Structure 1
Amino acid sequence: MSSQATYDDVGRRESGRADAETYLRNLQRQIKSLELQKRNAETELVRLERENLELRKELDRIRSPPLITAMVEDVLVDGRVVVKSSSGPNYVVNVSHFVDTRDIMVGCRVAMNQRTLSIIEVLPFSRDQAVTSMEIVRKPEVTYTDIGGLRAQIEEIRETVELPLKRPELFEQVGIDPPSGILLYGPPGNGKTQLAKAVACETESTFIKVVGSEFVCKFIGEGARIVREVFQLAREKSPSIIFIDEMDAIGSKRIDSEVSGDREVHRTMMQLLSEMDGFDPAGNVKILAATNRPDILDPALLRPGRFDRLIQVPLPDCKGRLEILKIHTRNMNLTSVNLDEVAERAENASGADLKAICTEAGMFAIRDERDYVEEEDFMRACEKVLGTYEEKDAESGLIYG
């Protein structure tokens, strides 16, 4: 009996030990779970405190009074600054201790406290809305392979723009300055803008396109100011290329006119001439312009040192038309199309006309419910697109001959 009791006691002790170990493991799991919850709660607390701090800062910014803008007119010896406020009068004001006085220059914009009129911030340079809305492309996607029939023009524009930006040491070794500006002239639709975009792509430059008529403003001095801001923008985003399309809008020959609008256009052109004279030919900003009427441009624009490289962009010949057709049809589904015959048929067609012919040929195929384009579609497209341009070559000869 005593042996049986001993066995029972041992069994109860082992069972109690197993229960205790199970209970201990449960407690350990609960402790780990609570520790994990604690860490998550601490992380959430840190996030909420950071969010609370940001919201408090935002609330302080909302509650803070607005600042007064002013233009710096002079910096005195004792550190004070003479400013012209946006409200009208001039003030002699102090500069806050957390503003670097080296950033304060004559002509810059500053922000002042309403109560003390102390300068508390230097603002960035302001630009006209017309300048900020201009077409600015960091790097155009047009390459030289997208341009057909202009091999000689591509070679000239590469020598004038690409080489000074990529290999300026060549001009230093020869001892010459590169041309300052390029004027592209010729009939419309032959790739003048495409040439400018392609050279900007090859040089990885910022492309700033502006139409000449955008410089023509209503009030005196506005056009000249926009010209200055465009060139300032080009300097900030250098290397850059300024492309002025329709140059004849502001560059026509100056005449003795009593009309105030003509005088304002002449002032704008003189500001453009001044900006071009102040440019370094070997710098990182290049100027290109395009026009359909080179015969009416002012001689001051065409003298050496300004637009001293004139590149004619004529109508493509038969070989050039074939190259352009291959470019525009490389993504088209063609069946039994002889592009040589199409190029011969499209005589006196510009690059834009050839693109329109390809588009019309595709439209004829869609009209006939086909997913491919035949040669007959191109012939019909030539008749449709070029039918109204029978006298195009004769008219072009009056201007570009």
Structure 2
Amino acid sequence: MSGDFDAIRDSGSSEETQLVRLLEEKIKSLQIEIENLRKELNYYKAEMEKMLSPPLIEAVVLDVLPDGRVLVRSSSGPNLIVNVASHIDQTLIKPGRSVALNQRGSIILEVLPQKEDPIIKSMEVVEKPNVHYSEIGGLEEQIMELREVVELPLKNPKIFKEIGVEPPKGVLLYGPPGTGKTMLAKAVATESNAVFIHVVASEFAQKFVGEGARIVRELFEMAKRKAPSIIFIDEIDAIGAKRIDIGTSGEREIQRTLMQLLAELDGFNPLDNVKIIAATNRIDILDPALLRPGRFDRVIEVPLPDLKGRIEIFNIYLKKMKYSGDINLERLAQLTEGFSGADIKNVCVEAAYVAIRDGRNAVTMEDLIEAVNKINVKKKRMENIQERREKYS
């Protein structure tokens, strides 16, 4: 009888233990759920605070006063003298730095990170072009001069300090269209380890007053931050033409942009490891101030290739192509007198099309001669159109 009672008591005890365990597990799961809900509540509270908090006003620091207050130009309009919040590092507040003010505009709450204009940022060539000096024919002298002016000061600046001279700041490439000015700049970008910044001068011409000068200033600031760097300004005649006393408001704005460029090239702030390459087809219309020493110290002519240069250019392009039979490079060079490097490339492309139209997968000498004749006809047609334009303009 007592044994039965003990068995019943043991079974009741085990049921209670199981119940307690179930309740403990339930409590744990509820505690976890409460913790998750608390986190979710805190998240939504923080989001509500963000949505309800007043917006901050952006301002630019103009000056730091002796008493620690700061003179700023507010984006909402007026210049203000404001205090600095105690958690802000005073050493970060410098003229030109962007800061955030509270809604009343009475205190600096945050120092904003340095920002770059998207237009300026897009000018940096992130993926360098795959062009080497060995792929440029007939310009050995120009390549040597360019390397002396641009690459040598960046790679070995000590030699100039030892001799006691300042390295050249920039080089101007000039010559007819298609002679390889831009290709030379691409080769510099590939061969050097410097940051390469490419800009077409017409991008400096903006419709708002002062915008062009601002872009020039910020472009050079970015180049200095990322030095060693190379700035390549293509078609510089777009903003570098001779200045005139009378002109439209647009022309005056371009002149202001040119003056800012001149100031950056030869101003109080040294360019250090920043080199400038510019290119133009019309050196005759450039402002004399651009050409004086101290700005573009080296002016390099990139002429139409001579006979030897044309042979080298044909050899460079034909190495990449599949051809059959003998190719007489000297004869091709004689037939293409007055052709630029771009014209010779066009001859090779046109010869490839002749072969494709005939159902062949290789170019012959006859294809190249036919392509030369076709490009010659196009060149003469374009020259006639140009003569007519000049006649009636």
TM-score range, shorter chain: 0.7 to 0.9
Contact 1:72 1:83 in 2 (8 A): yes
1:369 aligns with 359
1:148 aligns with 137
Aligned pair 1:291/2:280, yes or no? yes
1:291 Cα deviation from its structure 2 partner: 0.6
Aligned residue for 1:329, secondary structure, equals helix
Aligned residue for 1:250, secondary structure, equals helix
Give, in whole Å, the separation in 2 of the partners of 1:138 and 1:61: 43
Give, in whole Å, the separation in 2 of the partners of 1:138 and 1:54: 45
2:166 aligns with 177
2:69 aligns with 80
Aligned pair 1:101/2:84, yes or no? no
Letter in structure 1 aligned against 2:183: Q
1:205 aligns with 194
Contact 2:125 2:195 in 1 (8 A): yes
1:231 aligns with 220
Structure 1's 175 and 334: CA in aligned 2 closer, same or farther, altered over 3 A? same
1:360 aligns with 350
2:327 aligns with 338
Letter in structure 2 aligned against 1:161: V
Structure 1's 167 and 82: CA in aligned 2 closer, same or farther, altered over 3 A? same
Contact 1:178 1:282 in 2 (8 A): no
What are the superposed Cα offsets for residues 82-122 of structure 1, whole Å, 9 maximum, x if unpaired?
Answer: 32222223333332333221111122111233367532322
Deviates further, 120-129 or 176-185: 120-129
Contact 1:180 1:281 in 2 (8 A): no
1:241 aligns with one of 214, 230, 233? 230
Per the normalisation by structure 2, the TM-score is 0.80
Give, in whole Å, the separation in 2 of the partners of 1:287 and 1:183: 8
Alignment of 1:267-306 (within 5 A): 267-278=256-267, 283-306=272-295
Aligned pair 1:259/2:248, yes or no? yes
1:380 aligns with 370
Structure 1's 77 and 172: CA in aligned 2 closer, same or farther, altered over 3 A? closer
What are the superposed Cα offsets for residues 333-358 of structure 1, whole Å, 9 maximum, x if unpaired?
Answer: 11114151322222211111111111
Aligned residue for 1:355, secondary structure, equals helix
1:60 Cα deviation from its structure 2 partner: 7.0
1:228 Cα deviation from its structure 2 partner: 0.6
Give, in whole Å, the separation in 2 of the partners of 1:57 and 1:150: 69
Structure 1's 281 and 200: CA in aligned 2 closer, same or farther, altered over 3 A? farther
Letter in structure 2 aligned against 1:248: D
Aligned pair 1:389/2:379, yes or no? yes
How many residues align? The count is: 351
Alignment of 1:30-49 (within 5 A): none
**Aligned Cα root-mean-square deviation (Å):** 3.1
Contact 2:69 2:81 in 1 (8 A): yes
Give, in whole Å, the separation in 2 of the partners of 1:165 and 1:135: 18
* % same residue: 56
What are the superposed Cα offsets for residues 11-69 of structure 1, whole Å, 9 maximum, x if unpaired?
Answer: xxxxxxxxxxxxxxxxxxxxxxxxxxxxxxxxxx9xx99x9799779947964654321
Letter in structure 2 aligned against 1:79: G
Per the normalisation by structure 1, the TM-score is 0.78
Give, in whole Å, the separation in 2 of the partners of 1:106 and 1:280: 16
1:122 aligns with one of 108, 111, 130? 111
